[in-house]
Chain A
Amino acid sequence: MPDRLYLEQFGNVHALPVLHYRMEFAHLVRDAFDRVKPDCVALELPQTLEEQFLRGVRRLPEVSVLAYHVAAQSVFLLIEPADPLIEGARLALERKVPLHLVDIDLDSYPSHPEHLPDSYSVQRIGLEPFYREVAKLYREIPPCEEDLRRERGMAYRLKQLSAQHERVLFICGMSHLERIRHSFDAPLAQPLTRTRREGITILNLHPECLHEVLAEYSFLSAVYETRRTPLGPEPAANGHSLRKSFNAFELILGGKESIPEEEALAESVQRSAHRIGMEGEFPDRQKIMLRLFLEAARHYRQETGDKVHFWQKRAFFRFARNYALMTRMLLPDLFQMLAAARGCLDDNFAYAFFRLAARYPWQRETSDLPTIRLSADELWSSTKRIRFRPRERVRAKGFSHLKMMNRKKEKRPGDWLEGFDDPYICSYPPEDLSIEEYGRNLKRIGARQLSEEGSKSEPFTSSLLDGVDMRETLRNLHEGKIYVKENKRLKSGVGCVVVVFDEDKEGSRYPYCMTWLGEHAQESDMAFYATPPTDNIVGPGISRCEYGGFLLSYPPRRMVDVWRDPDYRHATGKGELLLLAALDYSLEKDVVYAAAKPPRSFMKQHAARLNKRIIYLPLGSLSPVALKKLRAFHILYGRDKRDIAKDYIW
């Protein structure tokens, strides 16, 4: 492993060249403190900001925004943990080392487009070769007058400090350091600069804006922040569930079993901070990304019941890597990871990923400071000129178009429980329509399968039947015969449809067994087993369940409760019970049975005795997207929930 830290030394000044707002450099500041043991810290920030800046630093880990106006422009400085200048100031305060802001305050400063290498490379190659390359890049860009003024000003102040202290640690952007070093040895005059600035305010940043405006995404900042202090005990690997579950008794009492979402997410941050390496070790951004993915996958499974497959994980990381490389970065930013999450998994996973990635446990909506909301749109719009200091533009901002992220949350803990006072339960009509439609689709697939099984080709004699079979004719070209094909049509129709997602051999995962009669002539009777409705509350009086399996039988209003029918007592599982019922209730000869495994041969014999036939469709031959959509359904407590349900159903 290379020595990651590198310091430029001139006189008794030990200068750390940094990229602003990058976590790797914040950690290097910590290493630099340990190595140099400075008796003075100098930062590339103007002295005019000092009072409010230090107030913001003291507020950490809560993130603050330092704001002031220059003519028509608003200038914002975000005080966030994973930034080298902020880390320098924070350590100086913690270790009681004198801190000096040595930059000069200018009213105007041009913005330069910069394409810098990914700071992650410091992790692999160390700071020295990284800095040499970046310095070479900057040598080719002629500095503007403002740059030169600032650099001469900083060199002058450093010279003063070096005369008063033994070891000065100077933390400075890479673009300036080389010229400051040269100026340091030259004779310098005190710069003419503004010594006071009015109207500087320090504000609390609204927690909902963090994901848009923080330079390092919230989860990464939170992991960094957690690792700054000694790590406490690691939370249990299985952890708390994000699924809002209420058991019936608690429901009546108005209590609840689940812990707040914030706590479960904070626990994920804690666990991740433990799992990315030993205490004090250089935090590896790639490992943090992996932990974010794994924790999001756990939450996704808790909430939706869907597992993240290995091939999805591999696709996510490969696609995210390629996407980052397209933008000349080694690792993806949050936006790119979200695009990969949506593209390689689905919207629900992307939501789980985003919710955790945007989690920064310490930020509060209210504080002793006024709270400000900032959005990426505002920050980078051309009409309202606002800019950050220091000047490097942070990457890939803006999530305003991610509409899927606007999922509703409980306004206060227990808010959704109040919707359960209606004893009447009903289904969500769009889901009824889609399951009916899918049932019809399965009947079509079953009929087609039977027809194909019955098709045959034969040499042409007197009839062309359903047409010339070109493939068979060519295959037997040496015979000099023409082959014709006959497609056998299914004589009877398909009656009932059974879909078994999970056989639930242990009988514990899907305990909710129901038989529902169709509400009208167009709707089938239905029997199903599913997860209990009190297990996953997604809205006021709205429960989300997952089918273990279901049976559709048409025409409606004929089915008695299949779960209590003694005729099906000998069924070996819930899926088989549904199949037995389907064979009984089907008015047609054929019954479609879609499951991961075919029915045992006894079932086929039983069907034959009833003069029925089972058409088996392997579950894998059906679209996983369609099945996933179908598998989740919602139970609404009260008809009035039908009007609001669409806002809570995902």
Chain B
Amino acid sequence: MDRTTIDGINLTLANPIELPLRWVGDEELLRQLLAAWMVIDERDIPFNPRLIGKPGVGKTTLAYAAAKKLGRQVYLFQATMDTRPEDLIVTPVIGPEGAIQYAASSLVSAMISGGVLILDEGNRMSEKAWASLAPLLDDRRYVESIITGLRIKAHPDFRIVVTMNEDSSTFEVPEYIHSRLQPQLFIDFPEADEELAILKENLPFAGSSILNYVVQFLQRGHAADEPYSVRDGINIARYALKMMSATNKDPHELLPLAVERILGEEALRYLK
């Protein structure tokens, strides 16, 4: 675990993450996210984009892939309705000798090291927590830790992206935060060929007939505005394959069972 000292206060930094994620969806979205982070001059500042889409469309994967494309370390912060301002910045912890130590959050660690922060499910966080990020998201690019009294400036290479699920906001994102989280990149359900590519990427051992069958099912679901995602498709195919291996039955016979188990009975109407 790395440590750093700012204005005489020792901070323990969080570790970056390494995930086995690869973006096989629309390349244009990747380009848009990188465009949002681009700066053309040292006086220019990057955008703080947000990725909006239904669950399972690949928001976090896209953010991770874009961060990796920049060649930076990636930090992830999972926001919840309990996230408090100090959770986002610096939290006091009791050290092995009973003394108080200060742990920098993954956000502050990314700010200090010039990494990329993915603030996942940002819409679940309260306004109070968002307010603590307001100066970071505008031209000031710093956060203030109330607990330590520190003002921590972001490294020029620091980038942030917020993922949001459009359907399930726990709190309101107020106007002054909304205007700071620009641009909004919408991730729609993928087209059939992209969906097949994503399934192949995640289930390289699956036969193409199963994957095509799942893609057709998902596409029918998208057309009917159902919230079935690629993630559901992967789970359906994976379940069917596991059952096939256990029972030696034909996978096509098992797919309706898999659909029912993963998404419920009402999803069966989208099977052929």
Contact = CB atoms under 8 A, between A and B. Distances in A.
Interface of A: 309, 311-312, 315, 318-319, 321-323, 325-327, 339-340, 342-344, 401, 441, 445, 470-471, 474, 619-626
User: Which secondary structure dominates chain A's binding surface?
Assistant: helix
Nearest to A318: B47
26 contacts: A309-B179, A311-B182, A318-B47, A319-B36, A319-B183, A322-B35, A322-B47, A323-B32, A323-B35, A326-B35, A327-B31, A339-B32, A340-B183, A342-B186, A343-B183, A343-B185, A344-B183, A471-B86, A619-B175, A622-B172, A622-B174, A622-B175, A623-B169, A623-B174, A625-B173, A625-B178
Top 10 A-B pairs ranked by shortest CB distance?
Answer: A343-B183, A322-B35, A323-B35, A623-B172, A322-B38, A620-B175, A315-B182, A621-B174, A326-B35, A344-B183
B115 to A, nearest CB: 20
Contact of B184 (A343, A401, A626): A343
B234 interface: no
Interface string B27-55: 01001101110101000000101000000
B31 A323 contact: yes
Contacts of B186: 342-343
Nearest to B123: A623
B92 interface: yes
A441 B92 CA distance: 34
A621 B34 CA distance: 30
B146 interface: yes
B263 interface: no
Contacts of B31: 323, 326-327
Q: Which residue, B32, B35, B49, B184, has most C-beta atoms of chain A within 10 A? A: B35
Contact of A322 (B36, B86, B172, B173): B36
Given A325-B40, A623-B174, A626-B172, A311 B35 contact: no
Given A318-B47, A471-B147, A623 B178 contact: yes
Interface of B: 28, 31-32, 34-36, 38, 40, 47, 49, 86, 92, 100, 127, 146-147, 169, 172-176, 178-179, 182-186, 191
Contact of A343 (B38, B127, B182): B182
A389 B28 CA distance: 27
Contacts of B172: 441, 445, 621-623, 626
A322 to B, nearest CB: 4
B40 A322 contact: yes
Given A315-B182, A325-B40, A620-B175, A343 B86 contact: no
Contacts of A619: 175
Nearest to B180: A311
B86 A326 contact: no
A319 B47 CA distance: 8
Contacts of A441: 172
Contacts of B38: 322, 325-326
A322 B49 CA distance: 13
A236 to B, nearest CB: 32
Contacts of A339: 28, 32
A361 B22 CA distance: 45
Contacts of A470: 92
Nearest to B148: A474
Nearest to B84: A471
A625 B40 CA distance: 30
A319 B36 CA distance: 6
Nearest to A401: B191
Contact of B35 (A319, A445, A624): A319
B25 to A, nearest CB: 12
Contact of B32 (A315, A343, A626): A343
A6 to B, nearest CB: 28
A399 to B, nearest CB: 12
B35 A325 contact: yes
A401 B187 CA distance: 12
A311 B47 CA distance: 12
B27 to A, nearest CB: 11
Among A309, A340, A624, chain B packs the most CB atoms within 10 A around the CB of A624
Contacts of B127: 621
Given A322-B47, A344-B183, 8 more contacts: A315-B182, A339-B28, A342-B184, A445-B172, A621-B127, A621-B174, A623-B173, A624-B175
A325 B28 CA distance: 13
Given A343-B183, A623-B169, A471 B146 contact: yes
Contacts of B35: 319, 322-323, 325-326
